[in-house]
C-alpha cells in the first residue's frame, strides 16, 4: 500500500484535503452497493479504476437515461476511470490480475466463486500484496444455505422484515422508496475499508472484508429486533406521542417528540393545560399509552392552518416539526444553500446537474469529475501499467 504517501499528505484544516490521495482502488463491483463504496473512496481522494465486462455494469441500463447516462451511473461512478476487460479470455484475466496487483484496495460483489474463476480472489492476490485490503460484498454471505441466491435491495427488504416495518396504515408491507439497503451496505463497506486501511498503515497487514446485505439489514433494524425480543408478541411500535405525519390545510407535516420537556412546550402551543397538569403524560411511556388520543388532537389542530403557519409556531416553541417536501425541494432549502451541500456538475448535452458533496469533507470539495463512458479509459490505463492484450 502507498502508506507513506497517505501519511505524508499535507495536514489542512479547511476541510478540502484529499484524505485518500495516493490510494488506488480497483472497483470490480456492479450495481449500487459496491460502486457506492468506491464512490465514497473516490470523493475522499482515492483514484478509482472501475473494471467492467464488455456489456458494462448492469446498472448502466437501469431506468431512464439522457446522453447515454442514467442517474445511477452518474451518482455512483462519477470521477472513476472505466476499463473494459473480457475475463472470459486468458488475456483478459491476465490483464485484470496485473491491474489488481497494482491496487491498494480491491472491491468486488460477484456471487461466491466467480472471482476465483477470474483469478483475482483474495488468496490469489495477497501473495504479491500482503497489505492488500480486499472487499467482498454479497447478498447472504460467502457460504451457507442461502449464499448462492441472487439478491437485490428490494428482495432483501422483503425477506428481512423491513417491508413489514414500513407497512402502510392498512398493515400491508411496502418497500422503502429508494435503495436503502444498497446504499447502507456501501456506507458500511467504505467505513470498514477505511478501518482496514488504518490497520494496514500501522501493521503492513491487509485484510479480506466480507460484508453481506443480510448483515446490513440486521444492523439497520437492531432496535426493532431487540424490542421484539424484549416484548415478544407485542406488535406495538409506538415510542412516543405525538408522532407521525399529519395533514395540514395545504399539505402535510411530521411532528414528533424528542423529550418530555418538548411535550410540555407542545401543551403550551396547543393550549392544553390539562395535558400539562397530567403527570402520567410527563413520560414517553405514559404518552405512548394514550398515543391515539394525543395524535388525534394534534391532527385536528394541524388541519386548520397551512404549513407556513405551523412551521413558524412550532419553531417558536422549539418543537420537532418538518414540512413533508418532495426531494427536489432540498436543493433550495436555505440551510442546504448556506452549507454548500450541492454544487453544479456539467453533463454535455444536458447542462448543469446537482452534485451532492461527500458528508464530512467540508465545503471546498474538488469538482467531481466526469462520469466515465463504458471503457473510456481502457487504452490509457493498460498503457500506463504496461499491460498488453494479445
Q: DSSP labels for 270-320?
A: HT-HHHHH-GGGSSHHHHHHTHHHHHHHHHHHHTTS-HHHHHHHHHHTT--
CA dihedral in degrees (95, 98, 104, 110; nearest 10)?
A: 40
Q: Are residues 304 and 162 in the same domain?
A: no
Angstrom distance (rounded) from CA 171 to CA 169: 5
Provide the residue-wise pLDDT of the chain in tens; the chain has 390 residues.
444 443 333 333 344 468 999 999 999 999 999 999 999 999 999 999 999 999 999 999 999 999 999 999 999 999 999 999 999 999 999 999 999 999 999 999 999 999 999 999 999 999 989 999 999 999 999 999 999 999 999 999 999 999 999 998 899 999 999 999 999 999 999 999 999 999 999 999 999 999 999 999 999 999 999 999 998 987 666 678 999 999 999 999 999 998 999 999 999 999 999 999 999 999 999 999 999 999 999 999 999 999 999 999 999 999 999 999 999 999 999 999 999 999 999 999 999 999 998 999 888 788 899 999 999 999 999 999 999 987
Q: Do residues 164 and 264 both lie within one domain?
A: no
Q: Tell whether 21 and 162 lie within a shared domain.
A: yes
* All cell numbers assigned to 241: 406521542
If asked whether residues 174 and 141 sit together in one domain, one would say yes
Q: How far apart are alpha carbons 255 and 245 in whole angstroms?
A: 7
In whole angstroms, give the CA distance from residue 206 to residue 267.
57
Residue 243: cis peptide before it, omega within 30 degrees of 0:
no
CATH number at residue 198: 3.40.50.10540
Do residues 321 and 362 both lie within one domain?
Answer: no
Cα 90 off chain centre by: 36
Q: Is residue 238 part of a domain?
A: no
The whole domain housing 185 covers 3-222+353-384
Q: How remote is the C-alpha of 276 from its chain's centroid?
A: 41
Pairing mode of beta strands 351-356, 133-138: unpaired
Phi, psi at 31, each rounded to 5°:
90, -125
Domain count, the chain: 2
Residues 179 and 315 in one domain: no
- Give the ranges where the chain is alpha helix by DSSP (H): 3-7, 33-43, 71-77, 90-101, 114-118, 122-126, 153-159, 162-165, 180-203, 213-220, 222-230, 260-270, 273-277, 284-289, 291-302, 307-316, 334-339, 378-384
Q: Are residues 133 and 281 in the same domain?
A: no
Give the per-residue pLDDT at 17. Answer: 67
Q: Which CATH number goes with the domain that contains 260?
A: 3.30.1540.10
Q: Which residue has the cell 457506492?
A: 36
**What is the reported pTM?**
0.90
Q: Are 23 and 6 in contact (CB under 8 A)?
A: yes
Residue 237, in any domain of the structure: no
Q: Which residue has the cell 500500500?
A: 1
Amino acid at each position: 500500500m502507498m502508506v507513506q504517501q497517505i501519511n505524508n499528505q499535507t495536514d489542512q484544516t479547511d476541510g478540502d484535503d484529499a484524505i485518500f490521495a495516493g490510494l488506488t482502488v480497483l472497483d470490480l463491483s456492479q450495481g449500487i452497493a459496491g460502486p457506492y463504496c468506491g464512490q465514497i473512496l473516490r470523493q475522499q481522494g482515492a483514484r478509482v479504476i472501475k473494471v467492467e465486462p464488455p456489456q458494462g455494469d448492469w446498472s448502466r441500463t437501469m431506468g431512464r437515461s439522457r446522453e447515454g447516462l442514467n442517474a445511477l451511473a452518474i451518482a455512483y461512478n462519477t470521477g472513476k476511470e472505466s476499463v473494459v476487460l473480457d475475463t472470459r479470455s486468458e488475456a483478459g484475466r491476465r490483464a485484470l490480475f496485473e491491474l489488481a496487483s497494482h491496487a491498494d484496495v480491491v472491491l468486488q460483489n460477484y456471487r461466491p466463486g466467480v472471482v476465483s474463476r477470474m483469478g483475482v480472489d483474495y488468496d490469489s492476490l495477497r501473495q504479491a500484496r500482503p497489505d492488500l485490503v480486499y472487499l467482498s460484498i454479497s447478498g447472504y454471505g460467502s457460504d451457507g444455505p442461502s449464499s448462492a441466491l441472487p439478491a437485490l435491495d428490494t428482495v432483501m427488504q422483503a425477506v428481512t422484515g423491513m417491508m413489514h416495518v414500513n407497512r402502510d396504515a392498512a398493515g400491508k408491507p411496502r418497500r422503502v422508496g429508494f435503495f436503502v439497503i444498497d446504499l447502507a451496505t456501501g456506507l458500511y463497506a467504505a467505513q470498514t475499508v477505511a478501518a482496514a486501511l488504518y490497520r494496514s498503515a500501522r501493521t503492513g497487514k491487509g485484510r479480506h472484508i466480507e460484508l453481506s446485505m443480510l448483515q446490513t439489514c440486521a444492523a439497520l433494524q437492531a432496535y426493532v429486533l431487540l424490542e421484539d425480543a424484549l416484548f415478544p408478541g407485542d406488535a406495538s411500535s409506538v415510542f412516543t406521542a405525538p408522532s407521525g405525519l399529519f395533514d395540514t390545510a395545504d399539505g402535510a407535516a411530521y411532528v414528533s417528540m424528542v423529550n418530555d420537556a418538548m411535550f410540555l412546550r407542545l401543551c403550551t402551543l396547543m393550549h392544553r393545560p390539562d395535558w400539562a397538569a397530567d403527570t402520567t403524560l410527563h413520560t414517553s411511556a405514559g404518552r405512548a399509552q394514550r398515543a391515539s388520543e394525543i395524535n388525534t388532537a394534534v391532527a385536528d389542530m394541524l388541519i386548520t392552518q397551512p404549513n407556513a403557519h405551523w412551521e413558524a409556531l412550532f419553531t417558536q416553541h422549539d418543537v420537532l416539526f418538518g414540512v413533508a417536501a418532495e426531494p427536489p425541494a432540498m436543493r433550495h432549502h436555505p440551510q442546504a444553500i448556506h452549507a454548500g451541500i450541492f454544487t453544479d456538475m456539467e453533463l454535455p448535452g444536458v447542462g448543469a446537474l446537482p452534485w451532492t458533496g461527500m458528508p464530512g469533507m467540508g465545503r471546498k470539495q474538488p469538482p467531481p469529475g466526469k462520469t466515465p463512458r463504458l471503457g473510456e479509459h481502457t487504452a490509457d490505463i493498460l498503457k500506463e501499467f504496461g499491460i498488453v492484450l494479445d
